[in-house]
Amino acid sequence: MSETTQRPRIDPTAIIEAGAQLSSDVTVGAYAYIGGRVTLGPGCAVSHHACIDGDTVAGQGNKFFPFCTIGSIPQDLKYRGGRCRLEIGDNNTFREYSSAHVGTEDGGGITRIGSDNLLMGGVHIAHDCIVGNHCVLANNVLLAGHCHINDWAVVSGGSALTHFVSVGRHAFIGGILAIVHDVPPYTMYGGEPPAVRGINRVGLKRRGFSAAVLGELKETYRMVYGRDLPAAVGIRQAREAYPHSEAVGELLDFIERSARGKSGRYLESLRSRNASDEAKAEGQRGEDD
């Protein structure tokens, strides 16, 4: 082996702007573009014609397939050109024509994608979204701004999530759906109209959940969704039946939180509250002037 310091393998037709920081074993294919504020960790592979721009930091082992567009400015008319960021963890796969944008000033300034996620062809992750770990977003899934996708969630092809939707851990969402409400953890969401249709038993069994936990979740679903009683009654009964179950507690907490949110979206209620506080502060400043 040569003692010469290893350098990134960069095709001569690729464009790497001054200031970009690439680990020594990064590979960059033909006609790819990497902007001057991009940082790529060890083992990242940028395919031909991929574009990574903006204030984007990616950890190790990420794969960027042809024609993906990562780190561009948001498609939000309220964006004012600030130095907002996109943070990417490790071992993610961005397939062809997928896109992920930096955050906005009003949304906290950061879009975050965790580790070990698969983003299939045409997936769009808008500004200020948070995607956890081990998630699968199938072909042409669209996330509007400020969505939160928690660990191990699966969203099937062609489904679109409106702004401020939260998806709980281990949830499974069917394909070709408009998602306008929060999706609770551990559940399957689909049908027409889209709604919670049961517990994600197959996914949970694959991830090692015990039969006992699956039984608790199934019975909780029956209590909350399967009877002609108010949901609050079922939630109370489930808490009494399974006071020590972490999974049941997580599911019930999520349902109650979303019910308090605007239009079934908890994060939407925070947006409205923040906007109201800002308006009051602006009015106070006007009076002081």
Helix axes 246-260, 211-225, angle to 10 degrees: 30
Please give the positions annotated as active site. 127-128, 145
CA angle 114, 33, 2 (to 5 degrees): 85
Which tokens is 139 given? 């072909």
* Distance of alpha carbon 55 from alpha carbon 288, whole angstroms: 37
* Distance of alpha carbon 181 from alpha carbon 194, whole angstroms: 9
Secondary structure class of 17 (helix, strand, coil)? coil
* Distance of alpha carbon 23 from alpha carbon 11, whole angstroms: 15
Residue with tokens 């009494």: 240
Q: Which residues pair with 120 in a beta bridge?
A: none
Relative to beta strand 51-52, strand 93-94 is unpaired
Q: Which residues pair with 99 in a beta bridge?
A: 69, 124
- To which H or E segment does residue 241 belong? helix 231-241
* Distance of alpha carbon 278 from alpha carbon 285, whole angstroms: 10
Which tokens is 49 given? 């014609």
Q: Which residues pair with 198 in a beta bridge?
A: 188
Which tokens is 142 given? 């669209």
Tally Cβ neighbours within 10 Å of residue 35: 20
Which tokens is 27 given? 């590979």
Tally Cβ neighbours within 10 Å of residue 166: 27
